[in-house]
Every structure is written in C-alpha cells, then in structure tokens.
Structure 1
Amino acid sequence: MSDEVQTLAVLIRDLRKHRGLTLDELAGKVKRSLGFLSQVERGLSRPTVADLTAISEALHVPTTYFYQAGQPRPLDWVTRPGERRTIYYAEGISDVLVSPTLNGGFSMLESHLAPGASSGEGHLNDSSEQGGFVLEGELTLWREGHAEAVTLRRNDSFQLPPHNQFRYANLTDQTTRVLWVFR
C-alpha cells in the first residue's frame, strides 16, 4: 500500500490506543468487523468515507484530524498542489486537503469521485456543518428522512447542518470533483 494509506493506518491506530480503546471496542462503536478494522490499522484495507467519519466520531475528533500529517510549507496561509495531503478511500474516492491550515473556522477538501464511486453503504453522521460545490461531473446525495435523492451538476451547491445523516455517490461514467467546506 502507499505511504498515504500507511500514514492513515498509523494515525487511526495511535489515536485509538491514546483513547484507551481496544480494536474490538472501536469495531463495536463503528459497527464494522474486528477483522476489517485490523486491516485498516495495518494499512491493508482502505476505509470508505462513511467508515472514516464513523471512526472519527467514535474517537472524538473531526474527520479532518487525519489530514494533519502534512509537510511544512513556506507560507502557512497558502497551499499549493504539491504540498497537499490526500486520503484515498475505498469505493473510488480521494480527498485532497486544500486548506492551508486546520486551525481556522473552516476546512476545505477537494473530492475526486471515480465513475460509480460512493461514500459507502451507510449514512455519514459528521459533527461538522458542511457544504459542497460541484466543480465537475455529477454528485447524487441521499439525506435521511428524504424520500428522493438529489443529483447536483457542475456549479450546483449544497449545505448540510451538523449530524445530518447522508450519503453520496457518482452514478455516472465520468469523474466528479467537489469542493467541500467543513465548519
């Protein structure tokens, strides 16, 4: 596996141990198997977006915590493409941290969704308020309590309150790019 996957694995394992949780306890909190979480912590499997969101909630950190291992930059208020951290998820999604810092009032990610990619089967329940702007392609969103999915296209945007349960996918045969803002 890549260095990014190994870095994520170490961050999850170290934080879990710091919180005093066993792998089995964390598996129960995120409703995943012990074997799957063991593979994630060893860098053998990639979590979905829904998995990492559940892990971050169970460990009481924002999902952006897992981007903190970036390289130092000459200007701490500017970030350039070669200086950004990327997390590669299962299901064909990668997130690039485009925010120069995680210490401000919001964070920005650029998500790349391969054709058919999804955030996972379960709904995300993130403690952050978040919104998105579709840069390219189409993004389909499902919100808990809403009967129908909404498909957003280039230049469409959305905003969701904290703990709003949802999931998303790229149901097309083209790549989708979304700029996410978390607060």
Structure 2
Amino acid sequence: MGELDIGKKVEKYRKAKGFSSRELAKIAEITPSMLSQIERGLANPSIQTLKVLAKALDVPTFSFLLEETNTEDLVVRSNERKKMVVENLSYELLSPDFTGTLAAAIMNVPPHTSSSEKLLEHKGEEVAFLLEGKVKVFLDDEEYILETGDSVKIPAYMKHKWENNFHETAVILFSVTPPVF
C-alpha cells in the first residue's frame, strides 16, 4: 500500500474541471494559500474542507481517500497465471486475484471426469463459455450438453455440476460474481 496523497487528488480533479487554484479556492471558500498547501502536501485538510472541496469539484468526498490502483497489477500475463488443481480439474485464474466483485478463470475438465460427485451451489452468479470440447452441465434437475461456443448462466444458489463423458478435455471460460470457488 502506498501513501495516500490527498493533495495530488485535489489538484488532479481541479485541473480536470478546468479551475485555476484561485477559482477553486473562491468556490470552496478557503484561501488560495491553504489550497496551495493542500495540493503540495504541506497541509492536511479537515474533513469539512474535504467535503467543501468535493462539492466544488463535483466528486464524492471519499474519492480523495481511495488509494490509487497500480495498473500494472491489473495485467495478467498468460505465463504468469495462478493455477490450481482440485482433484482432476485444473483452473487458471484470469483475474489478478480474488479481490473485488468479479473473477474469471479457465477450467479444464478432462475426459470421463466431473466437477463433483453431487450438485453443488454457491452464492456466486456464473457465466460460462465453452472454449473447447463438449461437456454436460447439470442445472437443478435438468441436463444440457454444451458444445464449443455455447454458454450458460448459472444464477446464485442454483445447484449445478459439470460432467465430461466425452473423449477430449472440455475447456470452459467462466466469470463469477462475487468471486467464490
């Protein structure tokens, strides 16, 4: 975690709105020297000052308190994916991690195997897309054969499982929100 620089954020939002320092100080009813000190990190604004600045800049007050996202951490190189094997299934995480509200992965289901003995449910809503092969998906009391290019949405708490009774590995791309595996 990096250090929070509220002043830089105030300056960024001010410039994005096209305000000069004097204009923003006047709108926010603070002195130009106070605004300058805040932007340069020489003064810490009170919560009240942050609220006034947020209103003047038309941004939520909490936006000054959010840490910057390092965009480099958002990229996942194909040779650096996190991989896990659960019994005979393998997963490759396409998302950088399990933080946030969405995760995506590739699941490989080898021939003549299934994702579980019985139908399972979880709080995550899923959308799955069959990249390669064929697979049977069980949704509550129904069964469907999916072929390459087919997709399925699995609502939260719907009992389901994957079964590959075929001769080639089924490769399934899926996203789940919230990220639960």
Query: What TM-score range do you get, normalising by the shorter chain?
Result: 0.5 to 0.7
1:74 Cα deviation (Å)?
Answer: 8.4
Q: In structure 2, what is the equivalent of residue 167 of structure 1?
A: 161
Kindly provide the CA deviation profile for residues 14-67 of structure 1, in whole angstroms up to 9, marking residues without a partner as x: xxxxxxxxxxxxxxxxxxxxxxxxxxxxxxxxxxxxxxxxxxxxxxxxxxxxxx
Percent of pairs with identical residues: 25
Kindly provide the CA deviation profile for residues 93-113 of structure 1, in whole angstroms up to 9, marking residues without a partner as x: 101111124223310010111
Within a 5 Å distance, the mapping from 1:16-35 to structure 2 comes to: none
Question: 8 Å contact 2:112–2:163 — kept in the other structure?
Answer: yes
Q: In structure 2, what is the equivalent of residue 152 of structure 1?
A: 146
Question: 8 Å contact 1:79–1:98 — kept in the other structure?
Answer: yes
Q: In structure 1, what is the equivalent of residue 89 of structure 2?
A: 93
In 2, Cα distance between the equivalents of 1:74 and 1:158? 31
More strand by share: 2
Within a 5 Å distance, the mapping from 1:126-141 to structure 2 comes to: 126-141=122-137
1:79 aligns with one of 76, 80, 89: 76
Q: In structure 2, what is the equivalent of residue 32 of structure 1?
A: none
Question: 8 Å contact 1:119–1:167 — kept in the other structure?
Answer: yes
Show structure 2 runs of 5+ residues with no match.
1-69
1:138 Cα deviation (Å)?
Answer: 0.7
TM-score normalized by the length of structure 2: 0.56
Corresponding pairs, count: 108
Q: In structure 2, what is the equivalent of residue 125 of structure 1?
A: 121
- What letter corresponds to residue 173 of structure 2 in structure 1? L
Query: Considering only aligned residues, what root-mean-square deviation do their CA atoms show, in Å?
Result: 1.7
- What letter corresponds to residue 79 of structure 2 in structure 1? G
- What letter corresponds to residue 86 of structure 2 in structure 1? Y
Task: Report the structure number with the largest CA radius of gyration.
Answer: 2
In 1, Cα distance between the equivalents of 2:84 and 2:97? 16
Show structure 1 runs of 5+ residues with no match.
1-72
TM-score normalized by the length of structure 1: 0.55
Q: Note if 1:104 corresponds to 2:100.
A: yes
In 2, Cα distance between the equivalents of 1:121 and 1:173? 20
